Amino acid sequence: MAGAGTAGHGPLAGVRVVELAGIGPGPFAAMLLADLGADVVRVDRPGGAGLAIDPAYDITNRNKRSVVVDLKSEHGAARVLDLVDRADVLIEGYRPGVAERLGVGPDSCHARNPKLVYGRMTGWGQQGPLAQRAGHDIAYIAPTGTLGMIGNPGEPPVVPANLVGDYAGGSLYLVVGVLAALHHARASGAGQVVDAAIVDGTAHLTSMIHGMLAAGGWQDRRGANLLDGGCPFYGTYETADGQYMAVGALEQQFYDEFVDLLGIKDQAPARKDVSRWGELRDTVAARFRTRTREEWTAVFDGSDACVAPVLSLREAPAHPHLAARGTFTDHGGITQPAPAPRFSATPTSVRSGPAQPGTDAEAVARDWDVPHLIKEDRISDGLTRDGHLKDGD
């Protein structure tokens, strides 16, 4: 595992982002921009966000700076709009209409900074019958057909943590949208609103499968297709020690190497005979149960059989390939994924650990030239000069 290393500034160095604190996909999207070098100022709320972990361990706030502003106070919106004046991007994850009621909606922000890219991250989107309904990742991916694709036939769908909806269908699409809008703003001088909805992004992730469905190459049920575990040479198998190996030997040449190394070359039924896939699966499963995960890893090491050990989160950083690439890094005693992707001319890095709420108010006020962040009247709003709530408030 690599250390934090020399701080790289990243390709977004010089881009300023205001993040209105929230949970889930918004903070992750802002972390992606920060990892790429943007100067992200997180506007934390007094008391913190719901479902928040200890700020010292919230890796999604790495490479950021934090100020605390009470948007419900008399001067709260004005403080944020001072930051907006000097920002390129704003990210918020409120329900539709909340930012407007707080005085920091798109119209208010664009009146101060017409070039601003205003990124909105929600589950249901800004419009539609469910736009005002609460929800979390699992509820957003359910109606898109995505959740229903994952799992074994005859069993409940498998919950893919919150990776498919919050982060893939949400954060990544918000970042793509923000960067595209930023490119347009710099070319035209006109900012715009980016409406990133988890339902839209998650549905978009299934584009290829919808094409296969239309062509008759995909069945609309779990465990019956090439890429959903229905295929015996694309799935996971238990080993003798209760661990698992992942198999993805789709192409003929990879499959041939797979069955050869597995030791079933002469007894495995034809891979293209779908009617015998159940028999093939049983044969593969029985063979994998004869050795441990470590032993099978050694068998397939260096081959093109497309087989890999299934590792846990704690095991992953020690995998030889990931360790050699520095896929994980250590910063402040926390093992974490390093920024991705890699850049040849503008390298990225973990420059700082998770931002602690309010500790960067003076530095941000200086660097962004927003002195009102630390003026005396801010103390009267119930905040100290370092951005924390005063005792008793």
Count Cβ atoms below 10 Å from residue 11 Cβ, excluding itself: 15
Token pair 């839209």 in the structure block, residue: 200
- The H or E element spanning position 336 is strand 334-337
Which string of DSSP letters, residue by residue, matches 220-250? SSTT-STTTT-STTEEEEE-TTS-EEEEE--
Cβ contact 356:368 at 8 Å: no
- The H or E element spanning position 380 is helix 376-380
Q: List residues bridging with 118 in a β-sheet.
A: 90, 193
* Nearest-10 Cα torsion for 257, 260, 262, 268: 110
- In this structure, what token pair is assigned to residue 47? 């008391």
Who's near 346: CB < 8 A, 6+ residues apart?
8, 9, 10, 11, 13, 37
Cβ contact 66:41 at 8 Å: yes
Written as tens digits, the pLDDT of the chain (393 aa) is 554 444 568 999 999 999 999 999 999 999 999 999 999 999 999 987 666 689 999 999 999 999 999 999 999 999 999 999 999 999 999 999 999 999 999 999 999 999 999 999 999 999 999 999 999 999 999 999 999 999 999 999 999 999 999 999 999 999 999 999 999 999 999 999 999 999 999 999 999 999 999 999 999 999 999 999 999 999 999 999 999 999 999 999 999 999 999 999 988 877 889 999 999 999 999 999 999 999 999 999 999 999 999 999 999 999 999 999 999 999 999 999 999 999 999 999 999 999 999 999 999 999 999 998 886 235 434 444 444 444 333
Question: Terminal CA-to-CA distance of the chain, rounded, Å?
Answer: 43
Domains, the chain, ranges and CATH?
2-205+326-380 (3.40.50.10540), 234-238+244-309 (3.30.1540.10)
Q: How many CA atoms lie within 13 A of 333 on its CB side?
A: 2
Cβ contact 88:115 at 8 Å: yes
| Residues designated catalytic | 136, 166
For the four alpha carbons of 91, 96, 100 and 101, in that order, the dihedral sign comes to negative
Report pTM. 0.92
